[in-house]
Amino acid sequence: MNTGRFVGAALAVWIVRVLLNYLFYGVLKTDEFAAMSDAHPGIFREVIPAYIAADLLFAVVFVILFAKVASCLGGGVKGGVLLAILVAILSPLLGNIYIFYSFTIYPAGTMVTDSIFQLVSHAISGALAGAIYKS
């Protein structure tokens, strides 16, 4: 594993994830989450440093996975996007299904838009990791 490319890819993925999550959850979905919070006070925790730390953890683990399996997936941007889509299906998309069927306050529209966002944001992260790491 090339340390310089690893660090560069992980930092880029981390920064882009933080920005995408802020724009989607912090800007675009604010009204929807405010309505849920008004109807169910105390339902959300807003711990921004924890969100940013979780994005950093994702970036590091994702780039490690990419460095190990990229060649099997076609390498470069293509390999990064494919790996990212597989990761998105295994984690946030399945997680959204569990949340939807577990909590009656989680609307289907929210699940769908969140799932689409997760697929797109993961694909962007994967493409970025593939472009920078170039295994």
pLDDT higher than threshold 80 for residue 135: no
- Rounded to whole angstroms, how far apart are CA atoms 41 and 87? 32
Per the CB < 8 A criterion, the answer to whether 95 and 32 are in contact is no
- Model pTM score: 0.91
pLDDT: is 28 or 45 the higher one? 28
Per-residue model confidence (pLDDT) at position 104: 86
- What is the reported pLDDT for 105? 86
- Read off the tokens for 48: 């921004």
Parent domain of 117? 3-133
Q: Could you tell me the pLDDT band of residue 99, with boundaries at 50, 70 and 90?
A: very high
| pLDDT given at position 88 | 97
Nearest-angstrom CA–CA distance, 37 and 41 = 5
Determine the average pLDDT of the residues in 80-88.
97
Q: What is d(CA 88, CA 62) in angstroms, rounded to the nearest whole number? A: 11
Number of domains observed in the structure of the chain? 1
Tokens 């990791």, residue located: 129
